[in-house]
Amino acid sequence: MNWFYEPLQFAFMQRSLAVAVMVGIICSVVGSYLMVQRLALLGDAISHSVLPGLALAFWLGANIFVGAFIAGVISTVLIAWIHRRSPIKEDAAMGIVFSAFFALGITLITTIQKDNKIDLNHFLFGNILGVTSGDVRDTAIIAALVLVAVVLFYKELLFYSFDPLGAQASGLPVGRLNLGLMVLIALTVVASMKVVGVILVLALLITPGATAYLLVPRLHQVMWLGSGIGVIASLSGMYLSYYFNLPSGPAIVLVASGFFALAFLLSPRHGVLTQRPRRSAQSLSSILSEEA
Amino acid sequence: MAPRSIRTSNPDANGNPVIAVDHLTVNYRDTQALRNINLTVRPGRLVGIFGPNGAGKSTLMKAMLGLIPVVTGRVTYGDQDLAHQLDRVAYVPQRSQIDWTFPSTVWDVVMMGRVKKTGWLKRFSATSRQLAKEALDRVGMLEFKDRPIGALSGGQQQRVFLARALAQEANIFCFDEPFVGVDQKTEAVIFQIFHELANAGKIVLVVNHDLGESITNFNQIILLNKELIAAGPREWVLTRDNMTRAYGGHIGFFGHAA
Ligand SMILES: Nc1ncnc2c1ncn2[C@@H]1O[C@H](COP(=O)(O)OP(=O)(O)OP(=O)(O)O)[C@@H](O)[C@H]1O
Ligand SMILES: [Mg+2]
């Protein structure tokens, strides 16, 4: 167990492991909602859109978490607005908004980079080893907020994400539930930036939940198992990065993807190798009927 | 024949409130889906909404519940807007609107019918669980309660949604195409429950498209094709003239050869 304790003697490793674990949990929980609502692309959109908020906050000396959060929320509002007020489809609206925000963010950061000591790469790919104790505190606050919100509103969010029309028809305020979900996603993305950067956040949001989805049948189970997978991926990614001198964000994502590949091949209910005869016939017919 | 309007917002003979649809027009961006619909839906009978594909049947149901914006018109239940009394409504959307690969079990779906009644920040009560059990039992799906919904047949899925509606303890039941992918035996079970609800004084509104023998289950029919063709007792509405105006050309329907 020496290999386990050795990195823990460094304060920076303790901080980064703490943040990685918290982020592994909330990404899997919130990402489960994105996955079941087929909104994976929205996670990508929000994560790219936080960049200009980060840059402006940095420039103004404000809290970068707050700046990033505001930019993320503005981008989702813009996406919904374009989608509703024009014949543009939602995915196209996301593509337009997130690339525009991303481009603006890169421009801003490269501009202020000249006068300040900041590194664009840290935003794009994360900089978990540079986590400060302030970051640990902010991440803990965000994680607590997100988890408490999901627990308190679990039954409403389940109904809404499964059957939005039915939920609306039963009198639930679906507009506010949707907004709340967007806020949770934006908070989660903001908290994850230091760990994996804006480009790879999507992997932490989707992959652990998708892995769990292949293994267990109910949403809360997907969230629990997904969190477990997210935590293990975060921890082992960090250790791999420590011992083999790998970039930590990509190492975490690669471990998570490895878990997904295993579940995809071997899941008792949906595995490609374990379910060969029935599944392949069924998926062929579902492919055909989807094309019809 | 002019559309027969049976609109009135007065309660029915037993003092039960009715749904009154008043000058309802609905557009989707630039296409008009419904034009100037006026009708009354009374409790205690099984009311069917019929019309060809794209006639606006689903649109009418959604617009009545305030789920989509309307251009003009008002829908009231008693003396208030129906959209403000949705806790009295149980609505089951068209099957194609549901993602059947969603990670939830039969039990999870039926309990969704108890979410609004349970209220914010509260856990489901024992009464709610009891109601859900009874509802599942009534549709014959209790033994499937731990099944993932993706592992059910089409008819079983419809019955689960019916159970969810029953668990809502609503006064107004709205079903969009509940017989799609359902065999005759399940169809009979579902109609039986619809009749029981109607006999218990509920409002039961069902979008359907089968013009065969099953149409005799409906006491009242709303015939639609973008505008209201006719609404009223089945025998009045199902005339050759009305059916031609709704469906265009010659159409076979129960009791009449094509
Ligand atoms: N979300 C939407 N956006 C734009 N047009 C729509 C939308 N939903 C329905 N329409 C159009 O409105 C009209 C009425 O649709 P609706 O779904 O109410 O018909 P329906 O009678 O329920 O048909 P079906 O029998 O196929 O279910 C159709 O012409 C349809 O193309
Ligand atoms: Mg329809």
**Domain locations along chain A:** 2-291
* Radius of gyration, CA atoms only, chain A: 20
Order of strands, sheet of B80-81, starting from the edge strand that comes earlier in the sequence: B31-41, B19-28, B72-77, B80-81
Q: For residue range A236-250, what is the model confidence (pLDDT) as tens digits?
A: 999 999 999 999 999
Judged by CB atoms closer than 8 Å, whether chains meet at B99 and A165 is answered as no
- Nearest-atom index, ligand 1, CA of B57: 21
Three-state DSSP at B71 gives coil
Say what the pLDDT of residue B63 is. 97
Q: What is the mean pLDDT of residues A31-35?
A: 96
- Cβ contacts (< 8 Å) between A218 and chain B: which residues? 103-105, 108, 148
Q: Residue B90 in contact with residue B120, Cβ under 8 Å?
A: no
**Chain A, 86-125: which have a CB under 8 Å from a chain B CB?**
87
| CA separation for the pair B242, A85 (Å, rounded) | 38
Would the CB atoms of A162 and B102 count as touching at under 8 Å? yes
| A171 closest CB neighbour out of B108, B111, B116 | B116
Is A162 in Cβ contact with B104 (below 8 Å)? yes
Q: What is the pTM of this model?
A: 0.92
Instruction: State pLDDT tens for residues B94-103.
Output: 988 999 999 9
Q: Confirm whether B199 is domain-assigned.
A: yes
Closest approach atom of ligand 1 to CA B60: 18
Query: pLDDT at residue B48 above 70?
Result: yes
pLDDT over threshold 70, residue A59: yes
Mean pLDDT, range A140-169, rounded to an integer: 97
Contact list, A161 vs chain B (CB under 8 Å)? 102
Q: What is the pLDDT of residues B119-167, one digit of tens each?
A: 999 999 999 999 999 999 999 999 999 999 999 999 999 999 999 999 9
Sign, Cα dihedral of A34, A37, A40, A44? negative
What is the rounded distance in angstroms from the CA atom of residue B82 to the CA atom of residue B251?
Answer: 35
Select from B43, B15, B22 the least CA-distant residue to B219.
B43
Distance between CA B223 and CA B237 in Å, rounded?
7
Residue B5 is assigned to a structural domain of this protein: no
Burial tier of A179 (Cβ tally within 10 Å: 0-12, 13-18, 19+)? middle
So what's the pLDDT on residue A271?
87
Q: Residue A263: pLDDT above 70?
A: yes
Q: What is the mean pLDDT of residues B233-252?
A: 89
pLDDT by residue (tens digit) across B52-63? 999 999 999 999
Instruction: Give the domain range for residue B122.
Output: 19-247
Q: What is the CATH number of the domain that holds B228?
A: 3.40.50.300
Assign A89 to helix, strand or coil: coil
Protein residue whose Cα sits closest to atom 24 of ligand 1: B53
Total structural domains in chain B?
1
Confidence of residue B249 (pLDDT cuts 50, 70, 90): confident
Query: How does pLDDT run across B108-117, given as a tens digit for each residue?
Result: 999 999 999 9
Q: What is the mean pLDDT of chain B?
A: 92
CA B188 / ligand 2 centre spacing (Å): 22
Rounded-to-integer distance, Cα A113 and Cα B52, Å: 63
Closest in B29, B97, B111 to A165, CB measured = B97
Interface A-B, measured as beta-carbon pairs within 8 A, has a size of: 84
Please list every protein residue whose CB sits less than 6 Å from any atom of ligand 1: B 28, 31, 33, 51, 53-59, 209
* CATH architecture designation of domain A2-291: Orthogonal Bundle (1.10)
Q: What confidence score (pLDDT) does residue A198 get?
A: 87
Tokens coding A103: 């481009």
Give the pLDDT confidence score for residue A277 in this predicted structure.
Answer: 56
Helices (H), chain A: 2-5, 11-36, 40-60, 64-85, 90-113, 120-125, 133-152, 154-162, 164-169, 174-213, 219-244, 248-266, 276-291
The whole-angstrom distance between B198's CA and the closest CA on chain A is 20
Tell me: the pLDDT tens digits for B157-208?
Answer: 999 999 999 999 999 999 999 999 899 999 999 999 999 999 999 999 999 9
Predicted local confidence at residue A121, as pLDDT: 86
Is pLDDT at A286 greater than 80 in this prediction? no
Mapping DSSP onto H, E and C, the string for A210-236 reads HHHHCCCCCHHHHHHHHHHHHHHHHHH
Q: What is the ipTM of this complex?
A: 0.93
Rounded percentage of chain B residues whose pLDDT exceeds 90: 85
Q: Distance, CA B145 to ligand 2 centroid (Å)?
A: 28
Residue nearest to atom 2 of ligand 1 (CA): B28
Determine whether the interchain pair A165/B103 forms a contact, defined as Cβ–Cβ distance below 8 Å. Answer: no
Whether residue A4 has pLDDT greater than 60: yes
B10 domain-assigned: no
**Please, which residues have CB within 8 angstroms of residue A71's CB and are 6 or more apart in sequence?**
A49, A50, A51, A52, A53, A54, A56, A101, A105
Residue A92, pLDDT above cutoff 70 = yes
* Nearest in space to A58 (alpha carbons), one of A11, A15, A112: A112
User: Using one digit for the tens of pLDDT, what is the confidence trace for A202-234?
Assistant: 999 999 999 999 999 999 999 999 999 999 999
Consecutive H or E run containing B170? none
* Residue with the two structure tokens 């809360």: A220
Which residue of chain B is at minimal alpha-carbon distance from A86? B29
In terms of residues, how long is chain A? Answer: 292
CB < 8 Å to B109, chain A: 162
A73-85 pLDDT, tens digit each = 999 999 989 988 8
